Every structure is written in structure tokens, then in C-alpha cells.
Amino acid sequence: MKRPQWLHPGHGTQRWALWGLLCVLVGLLLAALVFLAREYEDSLNQTRLEQSATNMTADIRGGLLRSVQNLVALHSTSGSPVPWESGAAEMLAVHREIVQVEWRDQNFHPRARRTSPFQPDLFAYRPRQHALPDVRQACANAQRASGPAYSPSYFWPTAQGMGLELMELCLPVSLDGRPDGFLIATYSLAGILSELIPADAQRGRRIALTDADGTRLTILGSISNSSEVFHTQVLIDLPGAAYMLRVERAREYRGWFPHVLTVAVGVLAVGLIGVLALFARDLRRRLRAERDLAEALAFRKAMEDSLVTGLRARDM
């Protein structure tokens, strides 16, 4: 009896090879989906970080503008040194990013001065006169622009080998149309980051102000250096000075599945593999039933042929 062609061993090997190829293709497809899901979520995280950095830049600009407005209001309401210093003390209690405010005449001689109560010994280690070149530079820019101007930051040493990065703001003022000197506010770059950026925006991020060449001037916050880090930079262009705001955030790993979309793709992958397994099981049962049916038909045909042969032999 001739065996059906589809029951030959070569066809079974070919069938399993096709199943293996299908499984490989499905595996590659799922791997591509997981990779694309990861890249998509990374792009979303990067976009959120860039938007957060843009908001931080707006907060810093807004805070600096408010301090300039408060300086103008301080001078307009306090025309003599004594009430000016009293108003400056109230201003410093609110603006912690400012470590000192001064009122100097046209020759840069001090008329009134008030130091922040949060940095009372800032100029105890090194005299204030060492910072006058930066002050003069800022005031020269302010006179040319007829408005507030900033100086590039400089390092100011303090006691015990510590120090701060400071920045000068110079604002020309006038009285009855005549020049009345300069209002000078000394900012701490660390204070600008900690005071002008909202606390919820600082959480989980490392924020730094850098020079144009990438030199870090001050850093706020910390993240794990062992994990992958997202980062972005935004330019803060001020009159007379420019800084780069660099914001970094570590990738968050939550157990085995760090990404929601990856979990969804994983669930779909498990479901697809389960469907393929059920399909393979059903196909094997179908092939087994067809094989049994074919063997039964072959046996029946053999019996019929034998019976016909016997009848013919008897008739002869």
C-alpha cells in the first residue's frame, strides 16, 4: 500500500522548519516593539525634561525681574540712606538669592549698604573692594543700555576654604531727572537656583548653571550617577552676561518593568505567544485526526480491494 505523500517524513521536517521561522519572526517583531516602546517613552521623558528646563528659565527670569522692580521701588520710596537701609533689610529678607544691596554714587563711593542676614560674614574674609572691577563693568553696561545690566559671575572665597559664585546687578537711578548713582545687588548663583526655581521642579533633578564652554559654576540637587541620565540645556541670556541652565534627570527603574508601554507590549507578546501555542496544539490535533482518518481509509480501501480480488478469484 502506497503511503500518502503528506505523511512522508520530509514534510514533517519542512513543517517544523516553517514553525521555527514563524517563531523567530514573531520574536523579532516583539523585540522591535519593545525597543520602539522604550524609545518612545524616552522621547516623552526628554520632551518633559526640556519643557521643565524652559519653565525653570522663565522662573529665573521672572525672579530677577521682580528683584529689579523691588530695587526701583526701594529707591523711589527711600531717598536718604537711613530709610533706604531699612527698606533694603526688608527686601533681603524676602529675596534670599541676593546677598547684598548697595547704593553708590557716580564715583562708586558707597552711600548705603545692607548685607543679607543669611550671609552676614560674606565679605569678612575678603574685602568688598576686590569685586569693584566687576561692579564697574556691570555699571558701564547699564549706563550704555540705560537699564539694568549684569556682570559675569566670579568666585568669591569665604572662610574654611569655601566660596560662592557671585553675580553683580547694576541699576542706574536718577532723582528729579539727575543721575543719583547706582543700585547694586549681588546675587548668589546657588541662591538663584534654590530660591527662584520651585521646589517641586527641583525634586529628582540635578540643576546647574554653566558657562558657555560648559564649566559648571554651581549645582543644585543630586542624582544617581550609576543610572542612565537624561539632560538638556537652555540659554539664559541676560544683559551683560549669559549662562546655560543644565538640567539632568536619572532614568527611573521600577522593578522589572520600568516603562508602562513596555509592560503593555510585554502583555501583548505573552498573549500572542499563547495564541500561537494554542494554534500549534490545534494544528497538531487536526493533523493527527487527518492521519488517523487517512489510515482508516487506506485500510478500508485495502480490505475492499482484497474482497474484490477474492470474489474475482471465486468466479474464475
Half-sphere exposure of 97 (CA within 13 A, CB side): 21
Strands (E), 189-277: 206-210, 216-220, 229-238, 241-250
pLDDT at 40 over 90: no
Mean pLDDT of the region 33-59: 86
Rounded Cα–Cα distance for residues 101 and 26 (Å): 69
Q: Domain 42-250 class?
A: alpha beta
pLDDT band for position 102 (50/70/90)?
very high
Parse the chain into domains and list their residue ranges.
42-250
24-33, 114-123, 229-238, 290-299: the lowest-pLDDT one? 24-33
In this prediction, residue 256 carries a pLDDT of: 47
Angle at 248 between CA 243 and CA 252, to 5 degrees: 170
What is the percent of the chain with per-residue pLDDT over 70, rounded to a whole number? 89
pTM of the model: 0.73
Residue 261 · residue 42 · CB < 8 Å: no
Rounded Cα–Cα distance for residues 191 and 181 (Å): 26
15-24, 163-172, 186-195, 275-284: the lowest-pLDDT one? 15-24
Q: Which three cell numbers stand for residue 107?
A: 564715583
In this prediction, residue 160 carries a pLDDT of: 75
- Closest-CA residue to 124 (of 162, 172, 74, 158): 158
Rounded Cα–Cα distance for residues 275 and 216 (Å): 55
pLDDT at 255 over 50: no
pLDDT band for position 243 (50/70/90)?
very high
Rounded Cα–Cα distance for residues 197 and 236 (Å): 14
